[in-house]
Amino acid sequence: MKKILFPIAFLCLLSACSENQEKAEKIYNSALSRFEQGDYNLAKRDIDSIRNNYPKEFDVIRKSIRLMRKIEFQEQQRNFAYCDSMLTVYTNKSDSLKKQFQFQIDKEYDQIGRYVQKSLTLDRNLNHNYLRAEVFENGTLQLISVYNGTSPLNHNHIKVSLKDGSYAETEAIPYDGGRNYRFKDEGMYHERVTYNLKNDGGVTGFIADFKDQPINLLFIGDKKEATSLLPEQKKAIAQSVELSSYLQSMQNLIEERRLAEAKLNLLKKKEEELAKKESSEK
């Protein structure tokens, strides 16, 4: 009986192995078909299924690994092309919008330049109380409250509001003598406080969202001073937000394109190494 059972068990084992191979091959063919149709996510799901369910089907797994590299290569090529295309779109949009801005840089002190909407430049707002937006070349945006008056406010934050009572208010920014400074000149007090998107309390976005409505501006410190934002100032801040968005998107796309290019080079290198190995084994 033992002599009879062994061949039967061996045949059953061969049958099971053959069946597993057929199933694995079927899934591989499905992955290949989906790859050719551009359904990369479904193709990768099939490949993962082969690895998980048929870990001993080494020949099929080797083919599926090769296919996975082809999928990754196509994906990175697609990502690279997409980034290139969108960079062109955002470059055109930002270049068009930059015509409304003045580029400023002090090469002796600044490592990066900034864009200021022309209606917000200092020469157009001498001795005015207003908000100034600046967009750096990397897309970072900062908002500056500028007060000029015959008495000091020592203001350290601001509040903007609508007639219906809705408002946004910045955090209180400590005086540091650097970006935030105060001085007196010929009987006039000048104060400047700088905010970024982490501490502006949503003021910048509030102005951009409600640029078509009357907006009150309140300087808050030891005393308070109220004024209204002019239509051209609201428009300028909204355009600054838009330019900031374009420039930041471009920075992100440049980084994504760089990563896609690096992955493409790595996949090419792996494919070349595998081709050399297969050639040496023949």
**What would the mean pLDDT of 99-116 be, rounded to a whole number?**
91
pLDDT tens digits along 133-167: 999 999 999 999 999 999 999 999 999 999 999 99
Higher pLDDT, 160 or 277: 160
Helix (H/G/I), strand (E/B), else coil: 131: strand
Which of 219, 181, 198, 204 lies closest to 133, judged by CA?
204
Please give the pLDDT value at position 11.
43
Q: CA-based diameter of the chain, in Å? A: 116
**In the predicted structure, residue 281 carries a pLDDT above the cut 50:** yes
**What would the mean pLDDT of 252-258 be, rounded to a whole number?**
95
**In the predicted structure, residue 26 carries a pLDDT above the cut 70:** yes
pLDDT tens digits along 188-221: 999 999 999 899 999 999 999 999 999 999 999 9
Walk me through the domains of the chain, giving residue ranges and CATH numbers.
Answer: 2-94+257-281 (no CATH), 101-254 (2.60.40)
**What would the mean pLDDT of 50-56 be, rounded to a whole number?**
88
Contact status, residue 163 vs residue 113, Cβ threshold 8 Å: no
Please give the pLDDT value at position 10.
45
Contact status, residue 101 vs residue 124, Cβ threshold 8 Å: no
Instruction: State percent of the chain over pLDDT 70.
Output: 92
> Average pLDDT over the chain, rounded to whole?
89
Contact status, residue 101 vs residue 115, Cβ threshold 8 Å: yes
Tokens representing 248 are 């930041």
pLDDT tens digits along 79-98: 999 999 999 999 999 999 99
**In the predicted structure, residue 109 carries a pLDDT above the cut 50:** yes
Contact status, residue 229 vs residue 131, Cβ threshold 8 Å: yes
